[in-house]
Amino acid sequence: MSESTERDTEVADQAERVAAAARLHMKDKRAAQSGGLSGVVASRAGDWDLDDQDIDRMRKQERLWNPLVDKYFRMEIDGWENVPDAPVLLVGVHTGAPFVWDAWTVGAQWWRRFGPDRPLHGTAHDALMAFPLIGGLFRSMGVLPAAPDSMATALAAGRDVIVWPGGEVDSLRPWRDRDVATLAGRTGFVKLAIRCGVPIVPIATVGGGDAMPVLIKGDRLSRTLRLDRIARLKVFPIAVSLPWIVAPAALPQIPLPAKIRTRFMPAVTVEPDLALVDDEDYVQAKYEEVRRTIQEGMDQLARKRKWPLFR
Residue 247, pLDDT > 60, answer yes
- Predicted pLDDT at 129: 86
Confidence of residue 310 (pLDDT cuts 50, 70, 90): low
- Predicted pLDDT at 227: 67
106-142 tens-digit pLDDT:
999 999 999 999 999 999 888 888 888 888 888 999 9
2-22 tens-digit pLDDT:
767 888 899 999 999 999 999
Residue 35, pLDDT > 60, answer yes
76-117 tens-digit pLDDT:
999 999 999 999 999 999 987 777 889 999 999 999 999 999
Cβ-in-10-Å burial (0-12, 13-18, 19+) of 111 comes to buried
Residue 1, pLDDT > 60, answer no
The pTM for the full model equals 0.90
Mean pLDDT of the chain: 89
- Predicted pLDDT at 14: 97
Window from 70-74, 147-151, 178-182, 233-237 with minimum mean pLDDT? 233-237
- Predicted pLDDT at 231: 63
- Percentage of the chain modeled with pLDDT above 70: 95
What is the residue extent of each domain of the chain?
1-212+255-304
- Predicted pLDDT at 233: 65
- What is the rounded distance in angstroms from the CA atom of residue 96 to the CA atom of residue 14? 37
Residue 170, pLDDT > 90, answer no
Cβ proximity of 186 and 232 under 8 Å: no
